[in-house]
Amino acid sequence: MQMQVTGGKAATATLLAINGVLVLTLWLQLGVAPQDAVAAVPAAAPPVPLSLPAARPELPPFSAYQDVIERPLFWEERRRQQDAVALPADGAPAQVPFILLGVVQAEQSHAVLGRSGSKDVNRVYVGDVVEGWIVESMTRDSVTLMANGVRRELQFGTGRTGAK
């Protein structure tokens, strides 16, 4: 009896025939059926029990972590925000309390501001507010800050500020 197969049915019939021949060859060569091959895989070795240290380490009291708890969770630097600068009677800060330590110009420029006589540093971007000063603009060697309509420019390397 001859069967005529055309189109996509021919490809399906061919693949089924090849698959059948492969299964038959496996069965005859190895003497196992495909279900037996899966069952013949050895079981994994039993897990080794964990051994814990004999003594628990001594931890400091919970109150020792109060400073860590007070840090803001979602800020990159995880430091508390500095209090705002006290303004003189005319409303403008007398002097910028920072020196410019450097400017990094990359995809998003940022500057590093330090306090005179302190190890505290702030990494700031254009638009950030630091102690009442808004970072307006940056160049490769200066940062312009503004507070209450007064602009100051921090120059890199001079440690001086100038009115703008």
Percentage of the chain beyond pLDDT 90 is 5
Instruction: Name the band, by pLDDT with cuts 50, 70 and 90, for residue 18.
Output: very high
d(CA 163, CA 122): 22
Domain ranges of the chain: 8-39, 80-163
d(CA 6, CA 14): 11
CATH of 80-163, one of 2.30.30.830, 3.20.20.220, 3.40.50.620, 2.60.40.2700: 2.30.30.830
pLDDT digits (tens, 9 = 90+) for 62-108: 888 887 777 777 766 666 665 555 555 555 556 777 778 888 777 77
Identify whether the C-beta of residue 143 lies closer than 8 Å to the C-beta of residue 159. no
pLDDT digits (tens, 9 = 90+) for 150-159: 888 888 776 5
Say what the pLDDT of residue 155 is: 84
Say what the pLDDT of residue 69 is: 78
pTM: 0.41
